[in-house]
Chain A
Amino acid sequence: QVQLVQSGAEVKNPGASVKVSCKASGYTFTDYYIHWVRQAPGQGLEWMGYINPDSGGTDYAQKFQGSVTITRDTSISTAYMDLSRVRSDDTAIYYCARLFETQSRYFDLWGRGTLVIVSS
């Protein structure tokens, strides 16, 4: 079954780091880029960045440069999103999504999301 399985909910204190995982199954992990998108309460979808699982190359939205690190472990077909120095406004559902690329590029497969709550 083709799917992305994300890690469970997290509760963090302000200033801590949080690492969310996204395990791919049912397809060749290195064939598709993985992107991270979040949705804060009452807000829309916000793109954070991506990783090329084959090369490990990454790119981040300007807003998240310096605070987000996306990595991968090809041996277990898993991508990770590490958010450092979290604040209350980082409370959100974090999604990983697979990028399908042909003539156009679009997200054809999404994880179920990981709720991250930042609260003291």
Chain B
Amino acid sequence: SYELTQPPSVSVSPGQTANITCSGDQLGDKYVSWYQHRPGQSPVLVMFQDNRRPSGIPERFSGSNSGNTATLTISATQALDEADYYCQAWDSSAVVFGGGTKLTVL
């Protein structure tokens, strides 16, 4: 079965840039979505189709996907960006989530 691999944690200082990676075999041939998940809340879509932001998501969020790696980039990171982030792709009709990355802003 298809697998997506994320680093368990990423730390960033406020105002700096955070890069969260997601790796999978030939991932660049698939579309990747990213979800932000804060404790006690529902997941929120922050990126779809590799690099498209839903309405309401700040321009600080951007995405890329090439080769075997997709990346979610958060520029000028703020304290409110602290959350778990999950990449997601499709393996035919099956949904695949990465293991999640805890973003700490300190």
Which residues of A pack against B, CB within 8 Å? Answer: 35, 37, 44-47, 50, 59, 61-62, 95, 97, 103-108, 110-113
Q: Do residues B31 and A104 form an inter-chain contact, with CB atoms below 8 A?
A: yes
Contacts of B31 in A (CB 8 A): 103-105
Q: Do residues A106 and B45 form an inter-chain contact, with CB atoms below 8 A?
A: yes
Query: Within 8 Å of chain A (Cβ to Cβ): is B99?
Result: yes
| Interface-side segment among B12-20, B66-74, B90-98 | B90-98
Query: Within 8 Å of chain A (Cβ to Cβ): is B77?
Result: no
| B95 to chain A: closest residue by CB | A47
How many contacting A-B pairs (Cβ < 8 A)? 58
Q: Do residues A45 and B1 form an inter-chain contact, with CB atoms below 8 A?
A: no
Q: Do residues A45 and B90 form an inter-chain contact, with CB atoms below 8 A?
A: no
The A interface, classified by DSSP as helix, strand, loop or mixed, is strand
Closest 7 CB pairs of A and B: A47-B95, A104-B31, A110-B42, A44-B100, A106-B48, A104-B49, A106-B33
Contacts of A105 in B (CB 8 A): 31, 90
Contacts of B43 in A (CB 8 A): 37, 45, 95, 97, 107, 110
The B interface, classified by DSSP as helix, strand, loop or mixed, is strand
Contacts of B94 in A (CB 8 A): 47, 59, 61
Q: Which of the listed residues B42, B84, B94, B98 has the most CB atoms from chain A within 10 Å of its own CB? A: B42
Query: Within 8 Å of chain A (Cβ to Cβ): is B35?
Result: yes
Contacts of A46 in B (CB 8 A): 97
Contacts of A110 in B (CB 8 A): 42-44
Q: Can you show 20 pairs from A to B with CB atoms below 8 A apart?
A: A37-B43, A37-B97, A44-B97, A44-B100, A45-B35, A45-B43, A45-B88, A45-B100, A47-B94, A47-B97, A59-B93, A61-B95, A62-B1, A105-B90, A107-B35, A107-B45, A107-B88, A108-B48, A110-B43, A112-B42
